[in-house]
Amino acid sequence: MPEGPEIRRAADRVAKAVVGAEITGVEFGLPALTQYQAELSTSEVTEVTTRGKGMLTRFACGLTVFSHNQLYGKWMVTAKPQLPTTRRSLRFAIYTPKRWALLYSASTIEVVPDGAVEEIPFIAGLGPDCLDRLTTPAKVRRRLSSRRFHRRGLTALLLDQSFIAGLGNYLRSEILFEAGVHPDLRPVDCTEAQRAALAKAIVAMPRRSYKTGGITTDPKLAEALKEQGHRRRDYRHWVFRRGGQPCYRCGDTVVDGEHGGRRTSHCPTCQPPPQR
C-alpha cells in the first residue's frame, strides 16, 4: 500500500495537471458516484491535498472527492489526452484539454460537501499527518508518552493511523533504525533519549522519503552507492527488505522478521534487543 510520501507525490502530480485548468469532464467508475459527474465536470479543481494515505480533490462548486488507494489503487497522469494501456479498472478521472488525471483500481472513493470532510470516517480517525508542518517532534514525543499510546508495541503503533497518519510498513522499519530502537520495544520501555530519537525520526523519515522520491537512507550515501553502480533497491533503505545484507552503519547483518503479519527489518547492533 502506498504510504504518506507516495500519496503526497501523487497529489502533487495530479495538482499540477488539473488545478486551475479547464475541466472538460469528470468520470466515476463506481455507479453510486455518477450522480456527481455533471456538476463536477463544469467546476474547477481548486486544490489537491492529502491526509495520511488519503487524497482530497476539492472543486470550486463546494464538493470534495476523497479517495484512498488501498492496496491496488494507482494514480496515472497522462501527458496528452488519452487513456494508458492497462488492465486496471478506471475509478475516477479528471479530464482537461492537455492532461488527464486517472485513478485506477481504488475501492474507496467518496464525494462530500467541503464542510463534511472531517466527518468522513477515515479522516475522523486520523492522528496528526506525518508530512504536516505542524507535526513537530515535540508533538510526537507527547503522543509517545501519552497514556493512550505509551504501552503499545512500537511495530503496531507505527502502523496505527490514529497515532500518526501516513506511516506504513517500510517507514516503520526505517524510523526504528534511524532512532536506534529495537522493534520489540514499547514507548514506555524506551529511555527519554530513545523517545526523543523516535519522535525526531517519525517526523524526519517521511519527509526525507517525500523529498527524495522514496529514499530513506542518507542522501549522500545513496548518491555514492548510485555512482558506484548499485541498483536503487540496494541503496533506497537503511534496513527494510535488506535481510542478510550488511548494515550501512556498522556492518552487522540486517535481519528480516515479521510483526503483526507484516515484514520488519532491523540491525541487531544498531538496534540492540531489550534487556530481559
- The CATH 1.10.8.50 domain(s) of the chain lie at 137-266
Q: Given pLDDT bands bounded at 50, 70 and 90, which one contains residue 244? A: very high
Task: Specify the amino acid at residue 129.
Answer: D
Q: Given pLDDT bands bounded at 50, 70 and 90, which one contains residue 18? A: very high
- The CATH 3.20.190.10 domain(s) of the chain lie at 4-124
CB atoms within 10 A of CB 255: 17
Residues 6+ positions from 196 with CB-CB distance below 8 Å: 137, 141
**Would you say residue 25 has pLDDT above 90?**
yes
Distance CA(214)–CA(12), nearest Å, equals 15
pLDDT at 276: 61
Distance CA(28)–CA(53), nearest Å, equals 20
CA distances from 188 to 98, 130, 139, 151, 194 (A): 54, 21, 17, 6, 10
In CATH, 137-266 is 1.10.8.50: yes
pTM of the full predicted structure? Answer: 0.94
84-101 pLDDT, tens per residue? 989 999 999 999 999 999
Could you tell me the three cell numbers for 199? 519522535
**Would you say residue 126 has pLDDT above 90?**
yes
- For residue 101, give the H/E element and its range: strand 100-104
pLDDT at 262: 87
Q: Which CATH architecture has domain 4-124?
A: Alpha-Beta Barrel (3.20)
CB 12 within 8 A of CB 39: no
187-230 pLDDT, tens per residue? 999 999 999 999 999 999 999 999 999 999 999 999 999 999 99
Phi and psi for 146 in degrees, rounded to 5? -75, 155
Residues serving a catalytic function are 2-3, 53, 262
